[in-house]
Chain A
Amino acid sequence: MILVTRDEMDPREVEATLSPQVHGAVLTFQGTVRLWNEGRRVKYLEYEAYPEMAEAKLKEIADEIRQREEIEDISIYHRIGKLCVGETSLVVSVASKHRRSGFDACLDTIERIKEIVPIWKKEVWDEGEVWVGSQGA
């Protein structure tokens, strides 16, 4: 299950979208908004997406990961809009036969998201703001 949403996300609900429990391991990663980033005290993050393409690219990543031998299912939810410190921006849930393939799949998924999914985040602090990763672009 793939979703780009403006609503709060519950990792347990994302896990519940995985195919029926015949696997050996379920790994759920939750990315949250941190208070301190590069020495700045973060007020909030503003996530923006190209929604249709973001969902298509997330689906492409999920399909790639599902091809792996030990992976049974994967769900990815990404939140957009204004997120305060401590709120969840990303949930990746993987069902696998064994733990190692699950951890690997989870890590690789997050790396791929950062490479190809058109979602941007603006970090806002007291004295300014910046589109993360866009410095010099």
Chain B
Amino acid sequence: MNVNVRFFALYRERIGKDTAGFEIAEGSNVVNLVDVVMRDHPDLCPNPSALVVAVNQEYVSHNHQLKEGDEVAFIPPVSGGAQ
């Protein structure tokens, strides 16, 4: 199945685009998707197991199972608000 991934801020700059489609096997989870993305973009982040992922605008764990049409986003460390 095909999953569209949105990239923001640091990750968007490293990938060079804000959205990209990735082909993953049916029944894949977030770990499987991260593996596929890292294969294409090894410089995305030094520690893929710590990557924060949102599916349909909710934070999910890496064993979360993906389905066709999910809105997936890779979330760099957030820094909004004010110090």
- Chain A positions within 8 Å of B, measured between CB atoms, are 29, 31-32, 47-50, 52-54, 56, 78, 89-90, 110, 113-122, 131-134, 136-137
Contacts and interface: CB of A to CB of B under 8 A. Distances in A.
Contacts of A116: 59, 78
21 contacts: A48-B9, A50-B73, A54-B80, A78-B81, A110-B81, A110-B82, A114-B81, A116-B78, A117-B78, A118-B54, A118-B73, A118-B75, A119-B81, A120-B8, A120-B79, A131-B9, A131-B10, A132-B79, A133-B78, A134-B77, A137-B10
A50 B9 CA distance: 9
B78 A119 contact: yes
Q: How large is the interface on B (under 10, 10 to 19, 20 to 34, 35 or more residues)?
A: 20 to 34
Main secondary structure of the interface of B (DSSP, over half): loop
Interface of B: 6, 8-10, 12, 45-47, 54, 57, 59, 73, 75-83
Contact of A133 (B8, B45, B59, B77): B77
A115 B78 contact: yes
Main secondary structure of the interface of A (DSSP, over half): mixed
A48 B45 CA distance: 19
Nearest to A113: B81
